[in-house]
Amino acid sequence: MTAMFTSSPRVPIKDFPDHHDAEIVMRAYELRREPVLRESRAAIIRDFLPRSWEEMQAILKGDHPLNAPFRQVSTYWEMIYGMAKHGIVHPEFLLESNGEGLILYARAKPYVAQYREASGPRAFVNSEWITTHTEMGKQMLQRFEERAAKALAAKG
């Protein structure tokens, strides 16, 4: 098998998706429909738009209303994108219907280095990987970063 993408020197990524990839993508979709995750995703998309490290850092406090949604949504998408990074599911096929996690990553990205210092070096590593190792991920991230910049400008 010739790898189109590689997650590491040891993990080849298959060239084409197969029925196993479809099963994983369908299961990821089913999990997104779970009520608590759905509420958390809506809260993040609606309310998570930090303008500074201080705003991002505030969310890390347990009593912040976005703390639980942030933790749930960020870890969910890290698990999903980790499957692509480790060769379990074809990355581009996954992103065709699972790019929503990159909205969160685009909004957090300006503060990821500080977030990693505060929370641990593994934070957002899979989101970062999928946006640097796949063409679709690069394009999606750029689009979501542009949207975040416009939303921040409108927010004032």
One pLDDT digit (tens) per residue for the chain, 156 residues: 334 444 455 566 777 888 898 999 889 999 999 999 999 999 999 999 999 999 999 999 999 999 999 999 999 999 999 999 999 999 999 999 999 999 999 999 999 999 999 999 999 999 999 999 999 999 999 999 999 999 999 987
Alpha-carbon distances, residue 144 vs 10, 29, 103 (angstroms): 31, 20, 6
What pLDDT sits at residue 5? 46
pTM, to two decimals: 0.89
What would the two tokens of residue 94 be? 């996954």
Residue 1's pLDDT is 35
Token pair for 67: 């703390």
Would you state the pLDDT for residue 6? 46
pLDDT (0 to 100) of residue 3: 40
**Buried b / exposed e along 23-61 (16+ C-beta atoms within 10 A):** ebbeebeeebeeeeeeebbebbeeebebeeeeebbebee
Domains of the chain, residue spans: 17-155
**Chain position carrying tokens 């993408």:** 5
